[in-house]
Structure 1
Amino acid sequence: MTGNEFRFFLSCDINLPVTFRIERLEGSFPNSKFPNSENNASAENRMSEIYVECALFIDGAPFGLPTRTRLESAGPPFCWNELITLTTKYRDLTAQSQLTFTVWDLSHGEGLIGGATILLFNNKKQLKTGKQKLRLWAGKEADGTSPTTTPGKVPKHERGELERLEKLVNKYERGQIQRVDWLDRLTFKAMEKIKERESLKNGSSHYLVVDFCSFEHRVVFQESGSNFLLPSPIASTNDIVIVWDQEVGKINPSEHKQLKLARSLTRGVIDRDLKPSSNERKSIQRILKYPPTRTLSGDERQLLWKFRFSLMSEKRALTKFLRCVEWSDVQEAKQALELMGKWEMIDVSDALELLSPVFESEEVRAYAVSVLERADDEELQCYLLQLVQALRFERSDKSRLSHFLVQRALCNIELASFLRWYVAVELYDPAYAKRFYCTYEILEENMMKKAAGVNGEEDGFKQWQSLVRQTELTAQLCTVTRDLRNVRGNTQKKIEKLRQLLTGLLSELTYFDEPIRSPLAPGVLIIGIVPSESSIFKSALHPLRLTFRTTNGGTSKIIFKKGDDIRQDQLVVQMVSLMDRLLKLENLDLHLTPYKVLATGQDEGMLEFIPSRSLALILSEHRSIISYLQKFHPDDHGPFGITATCLETFIKSCAGYSVITYILGIGDRHLDNLLLRNDGGLFHVDFGFILGRDPKPFPPPMKLCKEMVEAMGGAESQYYTRFKSYCCEAYNILRKSSNLILNLFYLMAGSNIPDIASDPEKGILKLQEKFRLDLDDEASIHFFQDLINESVSALFPQMVETIHRWAQYWR
Structure 2
Amino acid sequence: RKQLLLMLSQNEADRLEVWAQPINTKDAATFRGKISSDKWIDHARTAFAVDPRIAFSMIMRFPTNSALSSEITQLVQTHILELRTIPEALPFFITPKAVDENSSLLQQLPHWAPCSVTQALEFLTPPYKGHPRVMAYVLRVLETYPPETVTFFMPQLVQSLRYDDDKLVEGYLLGAARRSNIFAHILIWHLQGECVPDEPGKEAAAPKATAFHSLLPAVREKIVDGFTPEARDMFEREFEFFDKVTSISGVLFPLPKEERRAGIKRELEKITVPGDDLYLPTATNKFVRGIQVDSGIPLQSAAKVPIMITFNVVDRDGDPNDVKPQACIFKVGDDCRQDVLALQVIALLRDIFQAVGLNLYLFPYGVLPTGPERGIIEVVPNTRSRNQMGETTDGGLLEIFQQDYGPVGSPSFEAAREMFMISSAGYAVASLLLQPKDRHNGNLLFDSHGRLVHIDFGFILEISPGGNMGFESAHFKLSHEMTQLLDPSGTMKSDTWNQFLRLCVKGYLAGRRHMNGIITTVNLMVDSGLPCFSRGEPIANLRKRFHPEMNEREAANFMVRTCVDAYNKWTTAGYDLIQYLQQGIEK
User: Under a length normalisation based on structure 1, what TM-score does the superposition of the two structures give?
Assistant: 0.57
Q: Shift of residue 730 of structure 1?
A: 0.8
Residue 353 (structure 1) aligned to one of 101, 122, 126: 122
Distance in 1 between residues matched to 2:101 and 2:305, nearest whole Å: 59
Q: Is the partner of 1:719 in helix, strand or coil?
A: helix
Corresponding residue for residue 251 of structure 2:
483
Distance in 1 between residues matched to 2:496 and 2:71, nearest whole Å: 52
Which digits, 9 at most, give the CA deviation of each residue in 1:697-749, with x for residues without a partner?
34222222221111222433211211111111111111111100111112112
Distance in 1 between residues matched to 2:233 and 2:260, nearest whole Å: 32
Corresponding residue for residue 479 of structure 2:
705
Matches for 1:264-343 after TM superposition, within 5 Å: 277-278=42-43, 288=59, 304-305=73-74, 308-310=77-79, 313=83, 315-323=87-95, 325-327=97-99, 333=103, 335-342=104-111
Unaligned segments of structure 2, at least 5 residues: 1-26, 28-32, 49-54, 197-208, 315-319, 581-587
User: Does the 8 Å contact 2:478/2:569 carry over to 1?
Assistant: no
Is 1:629 matched with 2:388?
no
Q: Is the partner of 1:523 in helix, strand or coil?
A: strand
Shift of the 410–634 alpha-carbon distance from structure 1 to 2, 3 Å rule, reads: farther
Q: Shift of residue 675 of structure 1?
A: 0.9
Q: Shift of residue 367 of structure 1?
A: 0.7
User: Does the 8 Å contact 2:77/2:105 carry over to 1?
Assistant: no
User: Does the 8 Å contact 1:662/1:702 carry over to 2?
Assistant: yes
Corresponding residue for residue 770 of structure 1:
545
User: Does the 8 Å contact 2:252/2:260 carry over to 1?
Assistant: yes
Q: Shift of residue 652 of structure 1?
A: 0.7
Matches for 1:37-76 after TM superposition, within 5 Å: none
Which digits, 9 at most, give the CA deviation of each residue in 1:222-251, with x for residues without a partner?
xxxxxxxxxxxxxxxxxxxxxxxxxxxxxx
Q: Is the partner of 2:361 in helix, strand or coil?
A: coil
User: Does the 8 Å contact 1:288/1:320 carry over to 2?
Assistant: no
Matches for 1:798-809 after TM superposition, within 5 Å: none
Shift of the 501–342 alpha-carbon distance from structure 1 to 2, 3 Å rule, reads: closer
Q: Is the partner of 2:453 in helix, strand or coil?
A: strand
User: Does the 8 Å contact 1:735/1:773 carry over to 2?
Assistant: yes
Unaligned segments of structure 1, at least 5 residues: 1-80, 82-172, 180-274, 449-460, 796-801
Is 1:368 matched with 2:138?
yes
Letter in 1 for 2:376: M
Alignment root-mean-square deviation, CA? 3.7
Shift of the 319–722 alpha-carbon distance from structure 1 to 2, 3 Å rule, reads: same
Letter in 2 for 1:697: G
Greater length-normalized contact order (CA 8 Å, ≥ 6 residues apart): 2
User: Does the 8 Å contact 1:386/1:748 carry over to 2?
Assistant: yes
- Alignment size in residue pairs: 508
> Larger radius of gyration, structure 1 or 2?
1
Matches for 1:622-771 after TM superposition, within 5 Å: 622=393, 623-634=395-406, 638=410, 642-695=412-465, 696-699=469-472, 700-712=474-486, 713=488, 714=490, 715-756=492-533, 758-759=534-535, 762-771=537-546
User: Does the 8 Å contact 1:665/1:691 carry over to 2?
Assistant: yes
Distance in 1 between residues matched to 2:565 and 2:108, nearest whole Å: 50
Distance in 2 between residues matched to 1:542 and 1:291, nearest whole Å: 51
Which digits, 9 at most, give the CA deviation of each residue in 1:522-559, with x for residues without a partner?
33332543221222223443321112234744433111
Shift of the 352–679 alpha-carbon distance from structure 1 to 2, 3 Å rule, reads: same
Q: Shift of residue 356 of structure 1?
A: 1.3
Letter in 2 for 1:739: N
User: Does the 8 Å contact 1:288/1:317 carry over to 2?
Assistant: no
Which digits, 9 at most, give the CA deviation of each residue in 1:598-633, with x for residues without a partner?
111221111111232111232343312243334544
User: Does the 8 Å contact 1:417/1:522 carry over to 2?
Assistant: no
Identity %: 24
User: Does the 8 Å contact 1:319/1:354 carry over to 2?
Assistant: no
Q: Is the partner of 2:311 in helix, strand or coil?
A: strand
Please state which structure has a larger fraction of its residues in helix: 2
User: Does the 8 Å contact 2:252/2:264 carry over to 1?
Assistant: yes
Q: Shift of residue 783 of structure 1?
A: 0.4
Distance in 1 between residues matched to 2:292 and 2:572, nearest whole Å: 48
Letter in 1 for 2:389: I
Matches for 1:175-254 after TM superposition, within 5 Å: none
Shift of the 287–441 alpha-carbon distance from structure 1 to 2, 3 Å rule, reads: farther
Distance in 2 between residues matched to 1:612 and 1:482, nearest whole Å: 28
Distance in 2 between residues matched to 1:357 and 1:810, nearest whole Å: 40
Q: Is the partner of 2:93 in helix, strand or coil?
A: helix
Q: Shift of residue 564 of structure 1?
A: 0.9
User: Does the 8 Å contact 1:592/1:681 carry over to 2?
Assistant: no
Please state which structure has a larger fraction of its residues in strand: 1
Corresponding residue for residue 791 of structure 1:
566
User: Does the 8 Å contact 1:669/1:810 carry over to 2?
Assistant: no
Letter in 1 for 2:244: Q
Letter in 1 for 2:213: A
Corresponding residue for residue 354 of structure 2:
584
